[in-house]
A and B are shown apart, each in its own frame.
Chain A
Amino acid sequence: MSSLSRDPHPADGRPGGGTPGGAPGSGRGSGPGRTSGGAPGSGRGGAGGGAGGGPARGRRAVRAVVRTLHRRPRLRLALLLTAPLTWLVVAYLGALAALFLAAFWTTDPFTSNVVRTWNTGNFRQVLTTSVYWHVALRTLGTALAVTAVDIVVAFPIAFWTARIAAPRYRHLLVVAVLTPLWASYLVKAYAWRTILSTGGPLDWALKPFGLHGPGYGLPAVVIVLAYLWLPYMILPIHAGLAGLPDDVLDASADLGARTWRTFRSVVLPLVAPSVAAGSVFTFSLSLGDYIAVQIVGGKTQLIGNAIYSDVTLDLPLAAALATLPVAVVVLYLLAIRRTGALNSL
């Protein structure tokens, strides 16, 4: 990933490669490299001296290691990244690759055992069966709707927590926003099942207005997912708004812009990358969800449900189906990258 996110910057003409992943290996990396290589070494040397002169040979060996590390930034980088990268490649990419590979197998129709015969029938089936297209489009629409709802709800809240609330309460408010994340997903989803049930609290609250709740179905899924992922949208927007310099707002006012104009021409463009960053979470989490759909979705099927129902008996077909959301998320990330939002994650 680091290499992928680094490569556009030289093309942009921005000096030095701005992303953290790119820093240690590039020319600029010698800066942080020197501190991290040098500091522990000298510290350990001092400790040895303080203990009343440890064996000189040991100290010399430590110095040699420190010197080697100091001279070889590549070695330093290798030591730093070998373990996490191995984990990433084997556990994460390996699992994805195995899944993708499984999509080319088939199953015995009776025993459901996987038969390892190479064929592309699963992909053909996914691409030619209209129900999978409907389900995929419905899922895409749901993910976009959840993201839109979250932006609309999160922006005012984040504006309040970041700019209006008294500074001494802001940290507490951020903690309050994060609190729902400590409760179990299932508990929250089942709470919504009760809220949305026929004659439940929502129906009761809307009754005086002659309305009733949406019941179980796609609207309920959008509501519940928007509720579940809201903190992931508030946090980046909060960070974006909190980092907004006061002087640009003052400058805008000085130049005669009213509130709405300032918001549209100054605040929104500066915070847009944060909104896009938040949407990465809400969009991709919604795209893969199937549990909330089972609980409040009525008879709705999203792509996660289709995968889940196939995974028990037809793993290869489920694997082929699972490449759809992966493709959509990759496309979404590529689109988001153009906004520069990935830099503010």
Chain B
Amino acid sequence: MRVTRHLVALAAALTAALTLATACGGSSGSSGSVGSDGKLHPPKLTAQKSLGQRESAVNLIAWAGYVEDGSDDPKADWVHPFERQTGCTVHVKIAGTSDDMVSLMKTGQYDAVSASGDASLRLIASGDAAPVNTALVPNYKDVFSGLKLQAWNSVGGVAYGIPHGYGANLLMYRTDKVSPAPTSWGAVFAKDSPYKGHITAYDSPIYIADAALYLMRTRPDLGIRNPYALDQKQFDAAVALLRQQNANIGEYWSDYLKEVSAFKSGDSVLGTTWQVIANTAQSEKVPVKAVLPSEGATGWSDTWMLSAKAEHPNCAYAWFNWIVSPQVNAQVAEYFGEAPANRLACDHTADRTFCADYHAGESAYYKRVWFWTTPIPQCVDGRKDVTCVPYAKWVQAWTSLKG
């Protein structure tokens, strides 16, 4: 009998705990959504009008290589000068994928994030990102106009961040193990690859777009016009291609250090990469080369966004202005291997031809590079007669194709 009584007490306590969890768990109900017109309706938030007293710290979420304090490479340090100048201590959390960034921002513990286009609109729609008053960022005036108020960093003419820079996902290979040198993404998608078991790919659902981009050229019958606007048939073809690729994959990567170590040991010899990873591997004497294949590539255009729950907004604004200032923007662009956002940065790169090499400000070049965008049911290529596969389905397909 006593056992029963104990169980009853336990159940009562459990119910109480449940009620408590229900009361304080979950996220806020006030979030925007994508309307039936395909337009974004973010929750009403207003940007701050003026800057206040700077706080003592700032918490950032960033891609590897964006917030360097000299610990990875003594020559790459733009954090310490910032701290000395502003008194804001920088805390950084490195994220491996856009999905990580979205979920980290939802914790409300961070002030700002270097979001790519496949995260930015989600953050705006969910109310996790706040509008940014660009007048409070003096260096914004020198940002390439082609990057201002674009689809991935603004809604209805309201800026939601400060452009950071942009670049392409490249194909990296071990020069001593892979020959002939690959010039096409076909090298990673070939069915009978001689490099079976040593091919690597980026571990994120957005990688499905890389397969779609390859199909855009090799299967014109599918009619893919934008790798982020896939109807069911096109999507299935891309997933089938990735399923076939899975047999040849050694491992997937989202931690850039893991990819460096895999290329170093030879466990991976061929696969997608970022320029910064190729640079890091080369600095560790790994014989690798990164190329932009003939089909073009997926890529990113990153934006520093402010959290709607930022505890240190003034330090975050100071960081925005710092990271797009000509010298620092040049440093970070050169370190990461991407085009800078600030046109004056081109005068400050150590390599004089850097901006030309990375096609900074050339919109024609970036017709070949498809910036990461979140797929939504309303096809982003403008088609009205079909429904496109939304990102949630991409996530499920990614889990299932890995088996």
Contacts and interface: CB of A to CB of B under 8 A. Distances in A.
A313 B246 contact: no
A110 B251 contact: no
Interface residues of A, number: 48
Contacts of A109: 390-392
Contact of A198 (B267, B390, B403): B267
A217 to B, nearest CB: 9
A215 B103 contact: no
Interface in A225-240: none
A250 interface: no
Nearest to B7: A3
Contacts of B395: 309-310, 313-314
B252 to A, nearest CB: 6
A197 B265 CA distance: 6
A110 B103 contact: no
Interface residues of B, number: 54
Contacts of B255: 294
A129 B26 CA distance: 26
A299 B246 contact: yes
Contacts of B402: 299, 301
A110 B20 contact: no
Nearest to A2: B6
A110 B69 CA distance: 35
A110 B390 contact: yes
Contacts of A105: 26
Contacts of A25: 2
Interface string A178-218: 00000000000000011001111000000000000001100
B374 A110 contact: yes
Contacts of A94: 14, 17-18, 20-21
B261 interface: yes
Interface stretch (B31-39, B60-68, B143-151, B216-224): B31-39
Contact of B100 (A114, A199, A312): A312
A311 interface: yes
Interface in B1-47: 2-3, 6-7, 10, 13-14, 17-18, 20-22, 25-28, 31-34
Given A134-B403, A198-B267, A310-B399, A112 B3 contact: no
19 contacts: A3-B3, A90-B20, A93-B13, A93-B14, A93-B17, A94-B14, A97-B14, A98-B17, A109-B391, A110-B34, A111-B32, A111-B33, A111-B125, A129-B396, A129-B400, A193-B261, A198-B267, A299-B252, A313-B392
